[in-house]
Amino acid sequence: MVAHIREQTSGGIITNALAIYRSAPLHFFTANALGLAPVSLLSDGAKVLGLHPPPLLVLPLSLLAGFFVQSVMTVSVSDVCLGNRPSIRHSYGKAFSRFLPIFGAIFLQWLAILVGYALLFIPSMIFGMWYMFAPTIAVIEPVSGIRALKRSKELGSGYYSRNFGVIAMLGLLYFVLAFVPMIAISVVLQFVLRYPVLFVALITNIVSIILTSVLAPIIITATVLLYYDLRVRKEAYDSLALAEDLRR
């Protein structure tokens, strides 16, 4: 078994994220889809029925669902790192057992990112780098809310550019492999085959969920591995400590 709880290079983080994903692709796909699909399908399903949920409701719910999936995936990645077979029951069970701390950390995380967008794009990127580990910290460590954000910023200190580079590289790959096909399908359905707009939106959303559930786990896994890497570098963290954290 490859030891993943150790110091790693940027290339090693990406390589090991892919290896972890390949060890249980169906699990990672299902874990993501279960978290992301309900909000997306309810929103588009409502539009098909003539209802139009306000964006100010849909956007926060979508962000919360996405960040909560990061907490779920943290458990799954941790199981693989410890040599255990990941399971949907254990991953979601552990995340829900820490629901209030996770929710507090996630709410503050996306609020900071949205404030960053309101202040132009650069502050949002900075907040994203500072607080990228908040959902992972909330599920692994006995902290929540504002403390999870502070902990994320402290842990990433000195490695912000490295962390950003790894996630940006995988994010670019995600854009090419997910958004480009999704846009192409939308254009063909709407302007070539001339299907109704709401039908196109529903189909595009389903395709988006599938592609996101296939590709997003790699980015989330890399984020979790970056978190472990920093704890190893700064706190001499190891597999025994991780196993103890998961038992709490």
Asked whether residue 162 is domain-assigned, the answer is yes
pLDDT tens per residue across span 126-136: 898 999 999 99
Distance of alpha carbon 139 from alpha carbon 133, whole angstroms: 10
Asked whether residue 209 is domain-assigned, the answer is yes
Position 201 scores a pLDDT of 77
Asked whether residue 3 is domain-assigned, the answer is no
Distance of alpha carbon 55 from alpha carbon 243, whole angstroms: 40
Q: Among residues 18, 4, 5, 9, which one has the least CA distance to residue 170?
A: 18
**Which two tokens mark 51?**
């209802």
Asked whether residue 60 is domain-assigned, the answer is yes
Position 53 scores a pLDDT of 61
What parts of the chain have a pLDDT lower than 70? 1-2, 41, 43-59
Asked whether residue 240 is domain-assigned, the answer is yes
Position 229 scores a pLDDT of 97
Asked whether residue 4 is domain-assigned, the answer is no
pLDDT tens per residue across span 144-168: 889 999 999 999 999 999 999 999 9
Maximal C-alpha separation, the chain? 59
Asked whether residue 32 is domain-assigned, the answer is yes
11-20 LR contacts (CB < 8 Å, sep 24+): 13/166, 13/222, 13/225, 13/226, 13/229, 14/166, 14/169, 14/170, 14/222, 16/225, 17/170, 17/218, 17/219, 17/221, 17/222, 17/225, 18/218, 20/77, 20/80, 20/81, 20/221, 20/225
Asked whether residue 5 is domain-assigned, the answer is no
Domain count, the chain: 1
Domain with 59, as residue range(s), is: 10-247
